[in-house]
Amino acid sequence: MSVADAQVQGADRTSDLSDRDRRILDFERTWWKLQGSKEQAIRETFDLSSTRYYQALNSLIDTPGALAYDAMLVKRLQRLRAGRMRQRTARRLGFDQGEKA
């Protein structure tokens, strides 16, 4: 596959994203620049509760379109999510994350 073919295929995947999906990814890239809490900005920007926003974001970062739109951001969000899942599992099982096996 040539570079041009890969670019066209990536552009096709990003066209699968809705306007809201793109806005969510753009927001995740820049939310820390906003004043006030992230939860408040989510409510004002998307008219969603934080829970609904994070549900949408977690579904979104698993799509090929999101990865094609902003791979670095999506990979970072996936790593953060995986780390939180490991911490929750460790707490549930009674392990201290600081312990070495």
d(CA 41, CA 30) in angstroms, rounded, equals: 11
Q: Where exactly are the structural domains of the chain?
A: 19-92
72-84 average pLDDT score: 96
Q: Which one has a higher pLDDT value, 68 or 99?
A: 68
45-67 average pLDDT score: 97
pLDDT in tens, 12-24: 556 789 999 999 9
* Residue in the structure block whose two tokens are 């579904």: 59
Residue 7 above 70 pLDDT?
no
d(CA 44, CA 48) in angstroms, rounded, equals: 8
d(CA 12, CA 77) in angstroms, rounded, equals: 22
Nearest to 46 by CA among 57, 61, 35: 57
Share of the chain above pLDDT 70, in %: 80
What are the structure tokens assigned to 12, written together?
A: 């096709």
